[in-house]
Amino acid sequence: MAEQTSNRLAIIALHGTMDLAYPPLILATAALALDMEAAIFFTFYGLEILKKGNADKLQVAPIANPAMPMPVPNIIGMLPGMTAMATGMMNGWMKKANVAKLSELLEMAVEGGVKLIACQMSMDVMGIKKEDLIDGIEVAGAASFLNFASQNAIALSF
Amino acid sequence: MSINPDQVLDCSGLACPMPILKTKKAVDSMALGQILKMIATDPGSTPDIEAWTQKTGHQLVETEQDGNKFIFYIKKTK
């Protein structure tokens, strides 16, 4: 008997920082390449990834992030401009390693048919309107995500 | 190497997940039985292309390494 396999990937994207925006988009686009279906549920700060023109503007947080390649003491990370500086450094490293931009991955996800769900409740809480978000997404709630995920999906949260 | 590829895809310099995304696109555009030669410089592409062929069912006919280049010959099987 064949091993049981899953051909669905269901991801929750909760954060709006650059480093945490990458895994959902990389995994979802890679899933397409593996002939799998994928959905990403963007909730709370994760909605920042879907805001028009915003994907490449996401920042990394130097505060409480001792794993940064050049760790910044929290007291320094609090200073004005440190988030922008840490983001600039990270962007430089990403570019050097020729990693695709978040906007490019997002575009491939839309084109490839990844189900991108913006959480209605979070949008209401944070005052985000559908027209603030990129085209090719749907606005829905937990049931829509769970309906997709319940059909034998691998489920991950970032 | 005597394999004669039907199409060549150069993914040199690209990082994960681009090599497999481009490989998938290229293989989709080819005819059954044709062979794609894919060149990558990302060392992670070796396990990833193996995993990709295992999951999609396409056949990894041959791999070779030329300096920092990893070369894959992939046969479209479905």
Q: Mean of the pLDDT values across residues B26-53?
A: 96
**Average pLDDT, integer, range A13-21:** 96
How many domains is chain A partitioned into structurally? 1
Is residue A136, in this structure, part of any structural domain at all? yes
Q: How is A13-44 classified by DSSP, letter by letter? A: E---SHHHHHHHHHHHHHHHHTT-EEEEEE-G
Interface contact B52, partner A, CB < 8 A: yes
State the complex-level ipTM.
Answer: 0.89
List the structure tokens of A151. Answer: 């059909």
Partners of residue B14 in chain A, C-beta under 8 Å: 98, 100
Subunit contact B15:A34, Cβ cutoff 8 A: no
Q: Does B18 touch chain A (CB under 8 A)?
A: yes
Residue A116 sits in a domain of what CATH number? 3.40.1260.10
Q: Among residues B51, B53, B52, which one has the least CA distance to residue B77?
A: B53
| Contact yes or no for B16 and A26 at CB 8 A | yes
> Nearest CB to A108: which of B21, B23, B55?
B21
Q: Is residue A86 assigned to a domain?
A: no
- State the Cα angle at B9 between B6 and B37, rounded to 5°: 50
A58 within a domain of the structure (yes/no): yes
> Residue A77: what pLDDT?
86
Residue A151 predicted with pLDDT over 70: yes
**Gap from A99 CA to chain B (nearest CA, Å):** 5
Instruction: Indicate yes or no: CB of B56 within 8 angstroms of CB of A98.
Output: no
Task: Inform me whether the pLDDT recorded for A76 exceeds 90.
Answer: no
Owning domain of residue A30: 10-62+102-157
**In this complex, which of B14, B15, B21 lies closest to A29 when CB atoms are compared?**
B21
The answer to whether residue A109 is domain-embedded is yes
Residue to mutate among B16, B18, B48, with most A CBs inside 10 A, is B18
| Tens-place pLDDT, residues A43-70 | 999 999 999 999 999 999 888 888 887 7
Residue A54 lies in a domain: yes
Residue A1 in this model has a pLDDT that exceeds 70? no
Contact between B13 and B41 (Cβ < 8 Å): yes
- Residue A77 is assigned to a structural domain of this protein: no
- Residue B1: per-residue pLDDT: 55
Cα(B60)–Cα(B78) distance, integer angstroms: 13
Domains of chain B, start order: 7-75 (3.30.110.40)
Q: Can you tell me the distance from the alpha carbon of B26 to that of B39, in angstroms, rounded to the nearest whole number?
A: 13
For residue A16, tell me if it sits in a domain: yes
What are the E-state strand segments in chain A? 8-13, 37-42, 115-119, 138-140, 153-157
Indicate the residue type of A57.
Answer: K
Question: With 80 as the cut, is the pLDDT of residue B2 above it?
Answer: no
In angstroms, the CA B18 to CA B73 distance is 17
Q: B16 an active-site residue?
A: yes
pLDDT at A71 over 80: no
